[in-house]
Amino acid sequence: MRHGMDHRKLRRSPSHRKALMRNLMNALVRSERIVTTVAKAKELRRLADRLITLGKRNDTHARRIAFAMLSDKENTEKIFAGLAGRFLNRQGGYTRIMRTGYRAGDGSDMAILEYLPSEEKKAGAAKGRKKGTAKPGAGAKGAAKKGGQAPTEKKKSGGPARKASDKEGKAKEKSAGKKTSAKSSAKGTGEDAASQDKRGGVKKTSRKRTVSKPD
Protein backbone atom coordinates (compact mmCIF):
# COMPACT_ATOMS: atom_id res chain seq x y z
CA MET A 1 0.00 0.00 0.00
CA ARG A 2 1.46 3.37 -1.04
CA HIS A 3 -0.21 5.45 1.65
CA GLY A 4 1.43 8.81 2.31
CA MET A 5 3.73 8.57 -0.77
CA ASP A 6 3.39 12.20 -1.73
CA HIS A 7 6.84 12.54 -3.27
CA ARG A 8 10.07 10.63 -3.81
CA LYS A 9 12.23 10.25 -0.73
CA LEU A 10 15.44 9.73 -2.77
CA ARG A 11 16.92 7.77 0.19
CA ARG A 12 17.63 10.99 2.06
CA SER A 13 16.46 12.57 5.30
CA PRO A 14 14.01 15.52 5.07
CA SER A 15 16.68 18.15 5.72
CA HIS A 16 19.10 16.57 3.23
CA ARG A 17 16.39 16.25 0.59
CA LYS A 18 15.32 19.89 1.09
CA ALA A 19 18.89 21.13 0.66
CA LEU A 20 19.32 18.95 -2.45
CA MET A 21 16.19 20.34 -4.10
CA ARG A 22 17.21 23.91 -3.25
CA ASN A 23 20.63 23.44 -4.87
CA LEU A 24 19.13 21.84 -7.97
CA MET A 25 16.55 24.66 -8.31
CA ASN A 26 19.25 27.33 -8.08
CA ALA A 27 21.37 25.54 -10.68
CA LEU A 28 18.39 25.21 -13.02
CA VAL A 29 17.37 28.86 -12.71
CA ARG A 30 20.97 30.02 -13.16
CA SER A 31 21.86 27.95 -16.26
CA GLU A 32 18.33 26.94 -17.40
CA ARG A 33 19.64 23.42 -18.09
CA ILE A 34 21.06 20.70 -15.81
CA VAL A 35 22.01 17.02 -16.09
CA THR A 36 20.82 14.76 -13.28
CA THR A 37 19.14 11.41 -12.67
CA VAL A 38 15.62 10.78 -13.92
CA ALA A 39 14.21 10.43 -10.38
CA LYS A 40 15.67 13.77 -9.29
CA ALA A 41 14.54 15.44 -12.52
CA LYS A 42 10.95 14.26 -12.07
CA GLU A 43 10.92 15.47 -8.48
CA LEU A 44 12.51 18.82 -9.38
CA ARG A 45 10.15 19.50 -12.27
CA ARG A 46 7.21 20.15 -9.94
CA LEU A 47 9.15 22.81 -8.02
CA ALA A 48 10.59 24.41 -11.20
CA ASP A 49 7.13 24.82 -12.69
CA ARG A 50 5.86 26.27 -9.43
CA LEU A 51 8.59 28.93 -9.53
CA ILE A 52 7.40 30.08 -12.96
CA THR A 53 3.80 30.22 -11.70
CA LEU A 54 4.92 32.44 -8.83
CA GLY A 55 6.87 34.61 -11.24
CA LYS A 56 3.80 35.15 -13.42
CA ARG A 57 1.83 36.32 -10.35
CA ASN A 58 4.52 38.95 -9.65
CA ASP A 59 3.29 40.23 -6.31
CA THR A 60 4.96 40.62 -2.92
CA HIS A 61 3.65 37.36 -1.51
CA ALA A 62 4.84 35.41 -4.57
CA ARG A 63 8.30 36.96 -4.26
CA ARG A 64 8.54 35.93 -0.61
CA ILE A 65 7.57 32.32 -1.39
CA ALA A 66 10.07 32.13 -4.25
CA PHE A 67 12.86 33.53 -2.08
CA ALA A 68 12.02 31.00 0.66
CA MET A 69 12.38 28.20 -1.90
CA LEU A 70 15.65 29.47 -3.41
CA SER A 71 17.37 31.56 -0.70
CA ASP A 72 19.10 33.49 -3.51
CA LYS A 73 18.27 37.10 -4.44
CA GLU A 74 19.78 37.00 -7.97
CA ASN A 75 17.91 33.86 -8.99
CA THR A 76 14.68 35.17 -7.49
CA GLU A 77 15.01 38.40 -9.47
CA LYS A 78 15.78 36.43 -12.63
CA ILE A 79 12.54 34.46 -12.29
CA PHE A 80 10.37 37.57 -12.01
CA ALA A 81 12.31 39.67 -14.50
CA GLY A 82 13.17 37.16 -17.26
CA LEU A 83 11.93 33.58 -17.04
CA ALA A 84 8.33 34.36 -16.11
CA GLY A 85 7.91 36.74 -19.06
CA ARG A 86 8.92 33.97 -21.46
CA PHE A 87 5.84 31.89 -20.60
CA LEU A 88 3.09 34.51 -20.43
CA ASN A 89 1.10 32.78 -23.20
CA ARG A 90 1.68 29.27 -21.87
CA GLN A 91 -0.42 27.53 -19.23
CA GLY A 92 1.84 24.98 -17.52
CA GLY A 93 4.52 22.65 -18.87
CA TYR A 94 7.44 25.05 -18.61
CA THR A 95 10.15 22.37 -18.43
CA ARG A 96 11.05 19.19 -20.30
CA ILE A 97 13.02 16.05 -19.51
CA MET A 98 15.20 14.33 -22.12
CA ARG A 99 16.75 10.99 -21.26
CA THR A 100 20.44 10.64 -22.15
CA GLY A 101 21.24 7.05 -21.19
CA TYR A 102 22.86 5.35 -18.21
CA ARG A 103 25.67 6.53 -15.98
CA ALA A 104 28.92 4.62 -16.35
CA GLY A 105 29.59 4.24 -12.60
CA ASP A 106 26.37 2.80 -11.15
CA GLY A 107 24.12 2.51 -14.21
CA SER A 108 21.67 5.20 -13.07
CA ASP A 109 19.19 6.47 -15.65
CA MET A 110 20.33 10.01 -16.57
CA ALA A 111 18.36 12.89 -18.10
CA ILE A 112 18.55 16.56 -19.02
CA LEU A 113 16.09 18.93 -17.32
CA GLU A 114 15.69 22.37 -18.91
CA TYR A 115 13.29 25.26 -19.30
CA LEU A 116 11.66 25.50 -22.71
CA PRO A 117 13.16 28.08 -25.11
CA SER A 118 11.36 31.30 -25.81
CA GLU A 119 8.63 31.19 -28.45
CA GLU A 120 8.75 34.94 -29.20
CA LYS A 121 11.85 34.61 -31.40
CA LYS A 122 10.25 31.89 -33.53
CA ALA A 123 7.10 33.96 -33.99
CA GLY A 124 9.15 37.05 -34.95
CA ALA A 125 11.16 35.07 -37.50
CA ALA A 126 7.98 33.73 -39.08
CA LYS A 127 6.52 37.25 -39.34
CA GLY A 128 9.72 38.53 -40.95
CA ARG A 129 9.62 35.79 -43.55
CA LYS A 130 6.00 36.56 -44.38
CA LYS A 131 6.77 40.27 -44.84
CA GLY A 132 9.88 39.68 -46.93
CA THR A 133 8.42 37.13 -49.33
CA ALA A 134 5.75 38.24 -51.79
CA LYS A 135 3.29 36.00 -53.58
CA PRO A 136 3.96 35.32 -57.28
CA GLY A 137 0.60 36.73 -58.48
CA ALA A 138 0.53 39.74 -56.17
CA GLY A 139 1.75 42.25 -58.81
CA ALA A 140 -0.78 41.17 -61.41
CA LYS A 141 -3.67 41.30 -58.91
CA GLY A 142 -2.66 44.78 -57.68
CA ALA A 143 -2.39 46.12 -61.21
CA ALA A 144 -5.77 44.65 -62.13
CA LYS A 145 -7.40 46.33 -59.11
CA LYS A 146 -5.87 49.71 -59.93
CA GLY A 147 -6.94 49.43 -63.56
CA GLY A 148 -3.45 49.37 -65.02
CA GLN A 149 -1.67 46.77 -67.03
CA ALA A 150 -0.09 43.85 -65.26
CA PRO A 151 3.66 43.55 -65.61
CA THR A 152 4.53 41.16 -68.42
CA GLU A 153 6.81 38.31 -67.53
CA LYS A 154 9.59 37.25 -69.83
CA LYS A 155 8.97 33.91 -71.43
CA LYS A 156 11.57 31.32 -70.78
CA SER A 157 13.53 30.34 -73.84
CA GLY A 158 13.52 26.68 -74.54
CA GLY A 159 11.01 23.98 -73.94
CA PRO A 160 9.98 20.92 -75.94
CA ALA A 161 7.66 22.82 -78.33
CA ARG A 162 10.31 25.44 -79.15
CA LYS A 163 12.95 22.77 -79.73
CA ALA A 164 10.66 20.77 -82.05
CA SER A 165 9.87 23.88 -84.14
CA ASP A 166 13.59 24.69 -84.43
CA LYS A 167 14.31 21.17 -85.65
CA GLU A 168 11.54 21.38 -88.30
CA GLY A 169 12.87 24.74 -89.54
CA LYS A 170 16.39 23.35 -89.88
CA ALA A 171 15.11 20.31 -91.80
CA LYS A 172 13.14 22.56 -94.20
CA GLU A 173 16.22 24.72 -94.80
CA LYS A 174 18.33 21.66 -95.58
CA SER A 175 15.78 20.26 -98.08
CA ALA A 176 15.44 23.66 -99.78
CA GLY A 177 19.22 23.91 -100.07
CA LYS A 178 19.43 20.46 -101.66
CA LYS A 179 16.73 21.34 -104.23
CA THR A 180 18.45 24.58 -105.23
CA SER A 181 21.81 22.82 -105.56
CA ALA A 182 20.26 20.12 -107.78
CA LYS A 183 18.60 22.73 -110.02
CA SER A 184 21.80 24.70 -110.34
CA SER A 185 23.78 21.55 -111.23
CA ALA A 186 21.20 20.57 -113.89
CA LYS A 187 21.30 24.04 -115.41
CA GLY A 188 25.07 23.96 -115.45
CA THR A 189 25.23 20.63 -117.29
CA GLY A 190 22.64 21.81 -119.87
CA GLU A 191 24.55 24.97 -120.58
CA ASP A 192 27.81 23.03 -121.00
CA ALA A 193 26.21 20.64 -123.48
CA ALA A 194 24.69 23.48 -125.56
CA SER A 195 27.97 25.34 -125.66
CA GLN A 196 29.81 22.22 -126.82
CA ASP A 197 27.23 21.61 -129.59
CA LYS A 198 27.60 25.20 -130.84
CA ARG A 199 31.35 25.02 -130.96
CA GLY A 200 31.24 21.73 -132.81
CA GLY A 201 33.15 19.93 -130.23
CA VAL A 202 30.83 16.90 -130.24
CA LYS A 203 30.29 15.01 -133.55
CA LYS A 204 28.04 12.06 -134.10
CA THR A 205 29.16 9.41 -136.61
CA SER A 206 27.04 6.57 -137.95
CA ARG A 207 28.58 3.53 -139.61
CA LYS A 208 26.69 1.09 -141.80
CA ARG A 209 27.38 -2.57 -141.53
CA THR A 210 28.16 -4.43 -144.74
CA VAL A 211 26.54 -7.82 -145.04
CA SER A 212 28.20 -10.31 -147.45
CA LYS A 213 25.76 -12.30 -149.52
CA PRO A 214 26.49 -15.95 -150.16
CA ASP A 215 27.31 -16.94 -153.72
- What pLDDT does residue 140 have? 52
- What pLDDT does residue 1 have? 80
| Average confidence score pLDDT of the chain | 77
Q: Is the pTM higher than 0.85?
A: no
Q: What is the pLDDT of residues 126-147, one digit of tens each?
A: 555 655 555 555 555 555 555 5
Give the homologous superfamily in CATH for domain 14-119: Ribosomal protein L17 (3.90.1030.10)
Residues of the chain with pLDDT under 50: 155-156, 201-204, 215
**By the 8 A CB rule, do 41 and 109 touch?**
no
Calpha distance 26→68 (Å, rounded): 12
- What pLDDT does residue 2 have? 79
Best CA proximity match to 68, nearest among 54, 82, 58: 54
**Given phi > 0 = left and psi -120 to 50 = alpha, else beta, which region is 210?**
beta
Q: Residue ranges per domain, the chain?
A: 14-119
Q: What is the phi/psi pair of residue 37, to 5°?
A: -75, 160
Please spell the DSSP secondary structure of the chain, one letter per residue: --TT--S--TT--HHHHHHHHHHHHHHHHHHSEEEEEHHHHHHHHHHHHHHHHHHHH-SHHHHHHHHHHH--HHHHHHIIIIIHHHTTT--S--EEEEEEEE-TTT-PEEEEEEEPPPSHHHHHHHHHHHHH---TTHHHHHHHHHTSPPPPPPPPS--HHHHHHHHHHHHHHHHHHHHHHHHHHHHHHHHHHHHHHHHT-------PPP-PPP-
- What pLDDT does residue 173 have? 72
**CB-based contacts of 101, cutoff 8 Å, min separation 6:** 109, 110
- What pLDDT does residue 42 have? 95
Q: What is the pLDDT of residues 39-50, one digit of tens each?
A: 999 999 999 999
Please spell the DSSP secondary structure of 189-211, one letter per residue: HHHHHHHHHHHT-------PPP-
Q: How many CA atoms lie within 13 A of 100 on its CB side?
A: 15
- What pLDDT does residue 202 have? 46
